[in-house]
Amino acid sequence: MSQHHVIPFKTYMKVAAALVALTFLTVICHELHLGPLAGPVAFLIAAVKAALVLLYFMHLKYDNMQNRVIFGSGLIFLLLLIGFSALDIWTRVQSMSTL
């Protein structure tokens, strides 16, 4: 079957260290009180962390195209969820909404 790529232990440790560092970065950003940017910045850091986990711990970086496409299709559903929910919130007419 497919060739199994073995990731060196050192790489794992580096990724783990990066994840810890990014966690601290999240805390620091929170302490800076970025106002309206606080949410986007926190999400950006979280997305980088998730990408690291996916690429290295879940081996997506070394995987074949088929599995990457299947994973990507999961993101489409995430976009649907966030997209439609955001559409609702952005298009509410505040003066008429019961909310």
Partner 1 sequence: MGTAAHGSNSNVNYLNEFKGIKSWLLSLDHKRIGLMYMISILTFFFVGGIMALLIRYELFAPGKQLLSPDQYNQVMTYHGAMMVFMVIVPGIPAILGNFFLPLQIGAADVAFPKLNLASWYVFMFGAAIAISTFFSTKVDTGWTFYTPYSIKTGTAVVAMVLAAFVMGMSSILTGLNFIVTVHKLRAPGMTMFKVPLFVWAIYSTAILQVIATPVLAITLLLLAAERLFGVGVFDPALGGDPVLFQHFFWFYSHPAVYIMILPAMGIVSELISAFSHKVIFGYKAIAYSSLGIAAVSFIVWGHHMFVSGQSEIAGVLFSFLTMLVGVPTAIKMFNWLATLYRGSVTFYSPMLYALGFLFLFAIGGVTGIMLASMGVDVHFHDTYFVVAHFHYVMVGGTLMALMGGFYYWFPKMFGKMVDDRLARMTFVLIFIGFNVTFFPQFILGAMGMPRRYFDYIAPYESLNKISTMGSWLIASGFLLSLYAMIKALKSGEKAPSNPWGAKTLEWQTSSPPPHFNFDKKPTVTGGPYDY
Residues in touch with partner 1 (CB under 8 A): 74, 77, 80-81, 84-85, 87-93, 97-99
Task: Tell me if 81 sits within 8 A of 47, measured CB to CB.
Answer: no
In the chain, the amino acid numbered 3 is Q
Nearer to partner 1 (CB atom), residue 9 or residue 95? 95
Q: Minimal distance in Å, beta carbon 24 to partner 1?
A: 21
Nearer to partner 1 (CB atom), residue 21 or residue 76: 76
CB 36, min distance to partner 1, A: 13
Cα angle: 72, vertex 58, 9; to 5 degrees: 150
Closer to partner 1 by Cβ: residue 28 or 89: 89
52: its two tokens: 């690291």
The answer to whether the Cα torsion of 11, 12, 13, 14 is positive or negative is positive
